Amino acid sequence: MKDFAGKTAVITGGGTGMGRELAKLLVAEGCNVAMCDVTLATMEETKRLALKGSPQGTKVATFQADVSIEPQMQSFAQTVKRELDTDKIHLLFNNAGIGGGGSFVTSKRSDWERTFNICWGGVYYTTRAFLPMLMAASEAHIINTSSVNGFWASIGPGRPHTAYAAAKFAVKGFTEALMTDLAVNAPHIKCSVVMPGHIGTEIAANSMAMAEFDSATTREMLNAQGLDVSALTDAQIIEAIGNNFRDTAPTSAAQAAQIILDGVKSERWRILVGEDAKFLDSQVRKMPEEAYTQSFYEELIKHSGWRI
Which residues are annotated as catalytic?
A: 164
Say if residues 191 and 172 touch (Cβ distance below 8 Å).
no
Which residues is 199 bridged to in the sheet? 251
Say if residues 12 and 96 touch (Cβ distance below 8 Å).
yes
What's the rounded Cα separation, in Å, for the pair 49 and 66?
A: 23
Q: What is the 3-state secondary structure (H, E, C) of the chain?
A: CCCCCCCEEEEECCCCHHHHHHHHHHHHCCCEEEEEECCHHHHHHHHHHHHCCCCCCCCEEEEECCCCCHHHHHHHHHHHHHHCCCCCCCEEEECCCCCCCCCCCCCCHHHHHHHHHHHHHHHHHHHHHHHHHHHCCCCEEEEEECCHHHCCCCCCCCCCCHHHHHHHHHHHHHHHHHHHHHHHHCCCEEEEEEEECCEECCHHHHHHHHCCCCHHHHHHHHHHCCCCCCCCCHHHHHHHHHHHHHHCCCEEHHHHHHHHHHHHHCCCCEEEECHHHHHHHHHHHHCHHHCCCHHHHHHHHHHHCCCC
Say if residues 264 and 189 touch (Cβ distance below 8 Å).
no
Say if residues 33 and 61 touch (Cβ distance below 8 Å).
yes
Say if residues 249 and 200 touch (Cβ distance below 8 Å).
yes
